[in-house]
Amino acid sequence: MAFYGSFTAAVALGISASLIGTCIMHDGCHGAYSASPFVNRMMGFGMDLIGASTYCWEAHHNTGHHPFTNLVTSKRGNMMGKSKKKFVTQENDPDVFSSYPLIRMNPYDEWRPHHRYQWLYAPLIFGGFTMLKVLYNDMVQVFVHGRVNSFISMEPRLSMKSNYIRALCMKCLSLVYMLFLPIHFNGVATGIALFAVAHFFCGIILSTMFIVTHISDNCEFLFHDNEAKLVTAPRKPLQSNWAAMQCRTSTNWAVKSTFWTHFSGGLNHQIEHHLFPSVSHVYYPYIQSVVESTCKEFNVAYKAHNSLFDALYHTLRWLYILGIDPCDDNLDRNAVHESGKKFRMEPKTLKTRSKSRRKGLSKSVVKKCDTIMHHT
Ligand SMILES: [Zn+2]
C-alpha cells in the first residue's frame, strides 16, 4: 500500500514539475511573468527547483531556439573532429534537434537504419529527456564545456562565480528531495524507480506539448548554406523576415481550449509565443485572432491543429516520413505523398546504391529537398 502511495506521489511530482516548467519558469525566464526583473528571476528559480539548470535552459532556449527556430546550417570544417573537406550540418536550434542521431527530426540530417522505427520509440525517449538533462546535459554544459554546443556559449553568465555556486547548490538540493529522500525511505531500487517515474511523467508531458509545435509535417525546416549564402524558402522579402519565419516554423494546437492554454503555459499558442515571448501566456488568447488575421492579410502561413491529439498525430507522421530510407526500392510513396507534400522524395534524385551518396545528405540532395519543400 505504501508503495502505491509513493508511486502516486511520484506521478504527482512529475506532473507538478511539468507545470512549474510551463506556467511559471518559462514566463519568468522570458521576463514575461512580471514587470519586475527580480520577480522574473525568482520565477526562473523554479527551473532549478525541479532539478535543471536555469542557465543552461536560458542559453539553449532564449539564445538558440527562439532566434534560430528549426534552422540548420551547413559548414565545411572539422566539427566533431572530421575531415575539413566534409560537409556537415550544424543544428542551430538545440531545443528541437538535440536528440539526433537517436531521432531524425529534420530532413537535412543524415538518415540511419534505426530511424525506420523512430515514430514508435520516440515517445519513450521524450519521456526520458528531463532525466537526461538533469543528470547529464547540465553537468557537461555548465561544469565541463561552459557552452551548450559549438556556437552557444554560457561564458557571460558563468564568468560570475556566484552563478556556478547557484547551479551547483540547486542541483544538489533538487537531487536530495527527488532522489536521496525517496531512497532513504523506500530503499535504493524503489527510490530510483520513483525518481524515474516522476521524471518520465514530467518529460513526456513537457516534450509532447512542446515537440508538436515545431516537429510536424506542417512546419517548415530552414537551411542556411554558409558557403553559398543561401537560405531556404524566402523567395519574397516579406516571407523571409523574422516574424514570418517564426510563423512558418511553428504551429499552434487547441487554441480554443482554456484548459490547455493554462496547463501548457501557452505552449499551445506557439506562434504567438514566438512573436511575443516577453508577453505572459495568459494574454495569448486575446492576441491570437489578431495574429491570425494579420498573417492572412500578408499571406503568411498560420498553422494550427484543433487538438493536442491531432498535433501529435502529425508529429508522429513526420517522424515516420523521415524514417523512410531515401534509397529504398520499396519506398511507400503513397504515404510520403500524402504527408502534406512536405518531403516528397523524387526517385531520380534520391534512389542510389552508391555508398558514398548514402552517407549523409550531400549538398545536391539538400538543395533538392529545399526545392521540393518550398515549391509544393
Ligand atoms: Zn519560449
54 Cα–ligand 1 center, Å: 13
194 Cα–ligand 1 center, Å: 29
173 Cα–ligand 1 center, Å: 26
317-364 confidence digits (pLDDT tens): 999 988 887 776 555 544 444 443 444 333 333 333 333 333 333 343
- Contact residues for 126 (Cβ-Cβ < 8 A; gap 6+): 203, 204, 207, 208, 211
61 Cα–ligand 1 center, Å: 6
What's the gap between Cα 96 and its chain centre? Answer: 3
**Band of the pLDDT at 58, cuts 50, 70, 90?**
confident
- Average pLDDT for 57-80: 73
243 Cα–ligand 1 center, Å: 15
186 Cα–ligand 1 center, Å: 37
Rg of the chain in Å (alpha carbons): 21
27 Cα–ligand 1 center, Å: 8
The helix or strand, by DSSP H or E, that contains position 88, with its residue range, turns out to be strand 87-91
278 Cα–ligand 1 center, Å: 9
Q: What pLDDT, on the 0 to 100 scale, is given for residue 316?
A: 92
Q: What pLDDT, on the 0 to 100 scale, is given for residue 110?
A: 80
The 3-state secondary structure of 24-44, one letter per residue:
HHHHHHCCCCCCCHHHHHHHH
The helix or strand, by DSSP H or E, that contains position 75, with its residue range, turns out to be strand 71-76
22 Cα–ligand 1 center, Å: 9
95 Cα–ligand 1 center, Å: 10
233 Cα–ligand 1 center, Å: 24
Q: What is the pTM of this model?
A: 0.78
Give the DSSP letter of residue 200: H
231 Cα–ligand 1 center, Å: 24
266 Cα–ligand 1 center, Å: 9
- In which region does residue 347 sit, left (phi positive, over 0), alpha (psi from -120 to 50) or beta (all else)? alpha
User: Distance between CA atoms of 25 and 62, rounded to whole angstroms?
Assistant: 13
275 Cα–ligand 1 center, Å: 10
Greatest Cα pair distance in the chain = 65
295 Cα–ligand 1 center, Å: 20
71: nearest Cα among 52, 36, 46, 97: 97
Q: What pLDDT, on the 0 to 100 scale, is given for residue 91?
A: 63
User: Distance between CA atoms of 16 and 201, rounded to whole angstroms?
Assistant: 10
79 Cα–ligand 1 center, Å: 28
62 Cα–ligand 1 center, Å: 7
31 Cα–ligand 1 center, Å: 10
252-280 confidence digits (pLDDT tens): 999 999 999 999 999 999 999 999 999 99
273 Cα–ligand 1 center, Å: 7
Length of the chain: 376
* Residue percentage of the chain with pLDDT more than 70: 74
User: Distance between CA atoms of 55 and 356, rounded to whole angstroms?
Assistant: 41
264 Cα–ligand 1 center, Å: 12
9-26 confidence digits (pLDDT tens): 899 999 999 999 999 999
- Strand arrangement of the beta sheet that strand 87-91 belongs to: 87-91, 71-76, 222-225, 230-231
- Average pLDDT for 218-233: 63
133: nearest Cα among 91, 173, 90, 171: 171
66 Cα–ligand 1 center, Å: 7
Average pLDDT, the chain: 78
261 Cα–ligand 1 center, Å: 14
143 Cα–ligand 1 center, Å: 24
125-152 confidence digits (pLDDT tens): 888 888 888 888 888 887 777 777 767 7
Q: Are 267 and 207 in contact (CB under 8 A)?
A: no
